[in-house]
Chains A and B, each alone.
Chain A
Amino acid sequence: MHRVFIVHLQKKLESIGHHLINDGPFCERSGRNNGVIYFPTINVTKDSLIVGALESAFNEMDETIRQDNLRYDGVNGGCTVVVCLFLMGKVYIANAGDSRAVLCKKNSPSIPLSEDFTPETERSRIRHLASQNPHLLGGEFTSNEYLRRPVRKDLGNLILHRAAHMTGWIYKVATDEDLKFPVVFGHGKKSRVLATIGVTRGFGDHELCVYNSSIRIKPFLSSQPEVKILDLSAHSEKELEDQIIVMGTDGLWDVVANDTASSILFNTLDQYSETDKTRFKYRFLSAAQDLVMHARGKFGEKGWKMSDGSGKLLLLHHQLI
């Protein structure tokens, strides 16, 4: 998958390569009326071209997976994606899903380089989409949200609800329509779209349906990444020595806070002396493994769990799902 994605991204970046080595802003032009017409009102920066290349590559990769899903056996499922592109003194971090990139700085708070895309964070987008396309709900779900999920004995009574276009609450008389399951249900890591999936962006999942039905999940999922830009050009190598990007899946970030990860990272690195070259070159490898092992916890009678409270929450969380 990585290779195929690189091919998509490479083609996109090659298409804007001539812009990247010239000064912007860039304007669209047309050859109509036997001449060249410029549209100077639209300023296109190099950053926006690179962001566009990433977004386009994400979309094409998702489409490639869709086609391969139809063409080959066994090519199914989906995944979250986070990409770091180093280009011209900047890092472009493209994220679709709940994997995460974090900039860890020694003796300073960490800086998140991506935002998670979950039913919780994209509640508004999902509900608007459901409201505008009720046929996607298969008659089983509703785009409304309720303070308390209505039951049959509430029919005819006033209940608090909010429609997709609302952020506040309002009373309405409960009808059979209100007994349907909300398209986004639950909170935090337990939130789900169509009672099925807990992440709203990424690649694949073209074949995923609501359990025991033909209601497809994919129309509510997006492959569009959010792209953030980290400018390194103003910093010397010395300044960047204590700045490290940690990219991890939700298996890490569900149980390890950003600043905790940063602390583990630098604690490990501090154990390696530059004079011991044999060991020194493995310091980042060891740090990555320490983060993995910290997230995984210890193996006990009841399986893997962390020694502190967060691990217990993890196991409880898994059991509840």
Chain B
Amino acid sequence: MIFSIHFPVAATIDDISVFVIPLAGYKSELLDKEIKEIPLLDESSREKLFSRSSSDEKVVTDSSEIEEFNIKSLEPNENINTVWQEVEELEQKQLLPTAKIASATEEVKVIPEPQPQLSDSNTENPKNSVAVVLEPENDAQVTDPVKEVKNEPVVTKEQ
């Protein structure tokens, strides 16, 4: 059973990270191209991964798996949100760091911005948040013997 990980669509700036997962399309061509097999990490790989991270925090993520986009390259519709226009103006004034889009296995650290005295809302120590999307490569279509209500997407809770 081989599993893969992908971030269908992700955007992150500072402590704001958003991942959008269209249920109808999580196997579409758009998303499949993001799927990557996750190799098992042996001890030497882990040693390499973490020893690099201790000297350079950014290297925790394999940079080859990160795609970076400039906001302007996305050609957003001007009618969508006036924020876009303001973003471009701010970028020209170099007040706004370029937003980066994570598509691989780690959220992207963004260039520090001019911040008023903001602290993390949860703790006095900076904290990062992680969001992971997993998808099996081979979905075994097995019927669960437990009957569930299927009129609407049902949220059940098992704790």
- Chain A: residues with CB nearer than 8 A to chain B? 1-7, 9-10, 13-14, 17, 20-25, 45-48, 51, 68, 71-75, 77-89, 91, 97-99, 103, 111-113, 189, 196-199, 202-203, 205, 208, 211, 226-235, 237-238, 240-241, 243-252, 254, 265, 267-268, 271-272, 279, 281-282, 284-296, 298-299, 302-304, 315, 317-319, 321
Contact = CB atoms under 8 A, between A and B. Distances in A.
Contact of A75 (B53, B69, B86, B125): B53
Given A2-B105, A3-B41, A47-B144, A288 B19 contact: yes
Interface in B93-145: 95-96, 99, 101, 105-106, 113-119, 121-136, 139-145
Considering the complex of A and B, which 4 residue pairs feature the smallest CB-CB distances, nearest first? A234-B150, A251-B16, A303-B116, A249-B129
A231 B148 contact: yes
Interface in B45-99: 46, 49-51, 53-55, 57, 60, 69, 71, 74-77, 79-81, 83-84, 86-87, 90, 95-96, 99
B76 to A, nearest CB: 5
B130 A80 contact: yes
Contacts of A245: 20-21, 23
A288 B9 contact: yes
Given A231-B153, A284-B22, A197 B122 contact: yes
Given A292-B13, A298-B86, A79 B142 contact: no
Given A75-B53, A77-B128, A87-B139, 20 more contacts: A2-B106, A6-B105, A9-B3, A22-B142, A51-B158, A75-B54, A79-B130, A82-B132, A84-B133, A86-B135, A113-B155, A229-B154, A271-B77, A294-B83, A296-B13, A296-B16, A299-B96, A303-B116, A315-B118, A318-B117
A88 B142 contact: yes
Contacts of A189: 121
A65 B136 CA distance: 25
Contacts, number: 324
Nearest to A204: B127
Contacts of B99: 289, 292
Given A14-B1, A231-B153, A234-B150, A288 B20 contact: yes
B9 A285 contact: yes
B3 to A, nearest CB: 5
B131 A240 contact: no
Contacts of B117: 318-319
A88 B141 contact: yes
Contacts of A203: 130
19 contacts: A2-B105, A6-B132, A7-B41, A47-B144, A68-B50, A72-B53, A82-B130, A103-B155, A208-B123, A228-B156, A229-B158, A234-B151, A249-B129, A254-B121, A282-B74, A288-B9, A288-B101, A292-B18, A294-B83
A80 B157 CA distance: 19
Nearest to A217: B123
Contacts of A268: 80-81
A48 to B, nearest CB: 6
Given A88-B142, A243-B24, A318 B125 contact: no
A286 B60 CA distance: 27
Given A80-B130, A233-B150, A248 B16 contact: yes
Counting contact residues on chain B (CB < 8 A from A), the size range is 35 or more
Contacts of B23: 91, 232, 240, 243-245
Nearest to B96: A299
A290 B80 contact: yes
Nearest to A285: B9
Contacts of B9: 284-285, 287-288
Q: Which of A5, A226, A250, A288 has the most CB of B within 10 A?
A: A288
A139 to B, nearest CB: 22
A271 B139 CA distance: 33
A292 B11 contact: yes
A20 B90 contact: no
Nearest to A200: B122
Given A228-B155, A244-B21, A5 B132 contact: yes
Interface string B6-31: 00111111111111111110100010
